[in-house]
Amino acid sequence: MTTIRDVTSDELQLFGAIVGRLERLTPETDLRAAVLGDVIRLLRADFGASYVWRSELVRFQHRVGHNMDPDNLKTYDEWFQFHDPMTAQLRQCRRATFVEQVLPRREMVRTEFYNDFLARDGLHHGINMYVFDGDQDLGDFRIWRSAHRPDFEQRDLDLLDALEPFLRRALQRGAQRYEQLTPRESDVAALVARGCTDRDIARLLNIGFATVRTHINRAMQKRCCANRAELAALIAREGLNA
């Protein structure tokens, strides 16, 4: 059994609170958003982001950020994830890993990725964890400290490793929320997010009223939304376009 050193009593309580929350969260809740801030606190870090790899789209989606500029994260969504020198290698590790293990800092600080993305928010020391269910990517946790803070240590790897089984179980329960919508479901959901009524959607897409309801119900089921307001908010947050 691994002994995790340098953990305060408050941090032990925080660890327990994170685990308890993970066990209680229902599938319709985005648990990454629910625990990311506390995971960052537990690791004595400053910044963090989380994505889910969508193999059918060959890209990361469903972004959650903490203490990072949303506009800067948007540049990752649109550009830097396709020009990222570290994440593919970190994913292959399939466990908590120091960023410097796959990209030494002296090389990282010379990259466009560092100077035009990471450094804009002050990210310097990194530790990442990618959670899998077999070959299915359930989600990741990308945790960073600023340049004036010390490097991450073994304690931080051990804490993430200890959290991993609880994160994996909770992410498995919610994995269906990222099931891909069909093109027509995406069209309908995007119009719902824009505030269109069912009759508006039927007219705009030239489909039957009952068909609109079917697409909305399927989209809500796939995204674990209890009603169209939740669906609209989720789709708007994810930035899906009609």
Return the domain boundaries, the chain: 9-177, 183-238
List of residues 6+ apart from 76 with CB closer than 8 A = 49, 63, 84, 117
List of residues 6+ apart from 144 with CB closer than 8 A = 45, 46, 47, 48, 118, 123, 124, 125, 126, 127
pLDDT tens readout for residues 177-233: 666 788 899 899 999 999 999 999 999 999 999 999 999 998 888 776 778 998 888
pLDDT score for 242: 34
List 216's β-bridge partners, or say none.
none
Architecture field, domain 9-177: 2-Layer Sandwich (3.30)
> Measuring CA to CA, which residue among 225, 35, 48, 51 is closest to residue 138?
51
Local confidence pLDDT in tens for the 242 residues of the chain? 467 889 999 999 999 999 999 999 887 778 999 999 999 999 999 999 999 998 877 899 889 999 999 999 999 999 999 999 999 999 999 999 999 999 999 999 999 999 999 999 999 999 999 999 998 899 999 999 999 999 999 999 999 999 999 999 999 887 766 667 888 998 999 999 999 999 999 999 999 999 999 999 988 887 767 789 988 888 887 664 33
Helical H segments across 63-222, by residue range: 70-78, 87-93, 99-102, 105-108, 112-116, 154-174, 183-193, 198-205, 209-222
Backbone angles phi, psi at 53, to 5 degrees: -75, 125
pTM of the model: 0.77
Architecture field, domain 183-238: Orthogonal Bundle (1.10)
> In this structure, which amino acid lies at residue 220?
M
